[in-house]
Amino acid sequence: MERVECLYRVSTKGQMDHDDIPMQRIECRKFAESQGWIIIKELCEKGVSGFKVAANDRDAIQELRDDAVNQRFDILLVFMFDRLGRRDDETPFVVEWFAKQGIRIFSVKEGEQKFESHTDSLINYIRYWQSEGESRKTSMRIKTRLDQMRAEGLYTGG
């Protein structure tokens, strides 16, 4: 039986109050069950930006790395690949590192990330290039709205 470790992540403290983590957990559990896999560990990152925080500074990623090196699991499962990170200069290589350790990487929504061809590596890179772009656009929208609110004399927190 395949041993699975799951990673769930939300970027902001505000998301922790909503249903994001439970939704990810439910979907990953259903997916693992449909494949006949057993989840042996579930790691949660609450309020950790996959764009602003480097993998080396993320405790869950370091724990997954340690478990991979020690062959404690066979499959890394996430709801969507961007839960692993959103840095185009880092996340593709983190994912590839897991694959080189013999870990299969799955997303409930996007399937398996393989590294059998040059095209697979390109798709892996493009995925995180796109995720970083989405993070940058979100940051611009938030900054613009906060600037507007300050100009209107509204409270913006902190």
- Tell me the per-residue pLDDT of 23-72, one tens digit each, with 9 for 90 and over: 999 999 999 999 999 999 999 999 898 878 999 999 999 999 999 999 99
Interval 75-108: pLDDT, tens: 999 999 999 998 888 999 999 999 999 999 999 9
Residue 92: Cβ-neighbour burial (10 angstroms; 0-12, 13-18, 19+): buried
Task: State the residue range of the domain holding 70.
Answer: 3-151
Q: Is residue 157 part of a domain?
A: no
Q: Is residue 147 part of a domain?
A: yes
Q: Is residue 93 part of a domain?
A: yes
- CATH code for the domain in which residue 25 is found: 3.40.50.1390
As a whole number of angstroms, the distance between CA 141 and CA 145 comes to: 6
Domain total in the chain: 1
Specify the pTM. 0.81
If one compares 19 and 23, the residue with the highest pLDDT of the two is: 23
Phi-psi region of 155 (alpha: psi -120 to 50; beta: other; left: phi over 0): beta
Q: Is residue 75 part of a domain?
A: yes
Q: Is residue 136 part of a domain?
A: yes
Confidence category of residue 15, pLDDT binned at 50, 70, 90:
low
Return the amino acid letter for 103: I
As a whole number of angstroms, the distance between CA 44 and CA 25 comes to: 9
Here the tokens at position 125 are: 């890179």
As a whole number of angstroms, the distance between CA 76 and CA 27 comes to: 14
Q: Is residue 158 part of a domain?
A: no
Q: Would you state the pLDDT for residue 13?
A: 64
